[in-house]
Amino acid sequence: MKKFINRTESVLEESLKGFCSAHAGLVEYQSNPCFVYRNGGAVNGKVALVSGGGSGHEPLHAGLVGQGMLHAACPGEIFTSPTPDQMEAAASKVDGGEGVLFIVKNYSGDVMNFEMASEMIDIPNEIVLTNDDVAVEDSSFTTGRRGVAGTLVVEKIVGAASEEGRNLETCQKLGVEVNSRTRSMGVALTSCTVPAVGKPTFDIGDFEMEMGVGIHGEPGRKRIAIADANSIAEEMTNTVMEDLNSDPKDPVLLFINGFGATPIMELYLMYNCVHKLLTQKGYRVLRSLVGNYVTSLDMNGCSITVSSLNTEMIRLWDAPVNTAALRWKC
């Protein structure tokens, strides 16, 4: 294992301190229990969005804290759910008097702990569960579909709605709708390595790929021989679009997400492959995002996310955002 670390037990704390120092104008760090929150704390009169999950997926979620997106993020240890006391403390810190909306990826530990936090806090709150991964129904850490890169789309659109002053019920319903209109699927060329373990999470041959891999290195739907980018894109796009089953009249957002070790050049190459396929199917790609946003440490791979957009979603996606990972119109 070759990594830039001091001690495996302090990787998360040191990384969070570095992150918050580098983006001191946007976020602040609180330890014990640890969470990252918007500079200045609560925004009065706005629904507060709180998310989180195991670390190792950066910039999700801390990198999405800021104007137009999250108010706080609760990072667990690498690939380990945060605890209810983190969520309770974060929610109390950023509550602006209009309630708290928890955005939770569908992993058993995350769901259990956020539900506990929801019951613990004396603040009106709701939960949006993301489960956009079409690869498998049940996996190592889930019952049902996994929440993956589509979570970013939910956080961006609902975050913009919060900025506009929408109430808690409206924000929650919007999050559910965006999730229902979003599908994702990933592929891995290599495994990832958790620092505390010191070896790859799974073994994979030099000429193999894991189709449908999860963002923690969970098994996908099949292990197959590596193919050219067009063939990989075709299988993933067909699977995503068959499940999404959206009207081609509705424009789409195409999001190509890297898992941490995939060169940007290759992510744009994959974007080109998928864009051509969607165009051939009669879909109009109206909005795009390409980059490493929902990663899996040092995994070489990528995911495809497609969201079927309506007029409101387009407007909210385009709304100003100012976070460490996403920034436009600010």
Q: Which residue has the tokens 């990787």?
A: 11
Residues in CB range of 17: below 8 A, 6 or more apart: 29
- Compute CA 132 distance to the chain's CA centroid, rounded to the nearest angstrom: 10
Q: Is 23 a catalytic residue?
A: no
Pick the catalytic residue from 23, 57, 61, 71: 57
Q: Is 216 a catalytic residue?
A: yes
Pick the catalytic residue from 23, 61, 71, 216: 216
- Please state whether 65 falls in left (phi above 0), alpha (psi between -120 and 50) or beta: beta
> Judging by beta carbons within 10 Å of its beta carbon (0-12, 13-18, 19+), is residue 264 exposed, middle or buried?
exposed
Cα distance between residue 28 and residue 24, in whole Å: 7
Task: Decide if 289 contacts 256 (C-beta within 8 A).
Answer: yes
Cα distance between residue 233 and residue 271, in whole Å: 9
Q: Which residue has the tokens 């830039």?
A: 4
Q: Mind telling me the catalytic residues? A: 57, 216
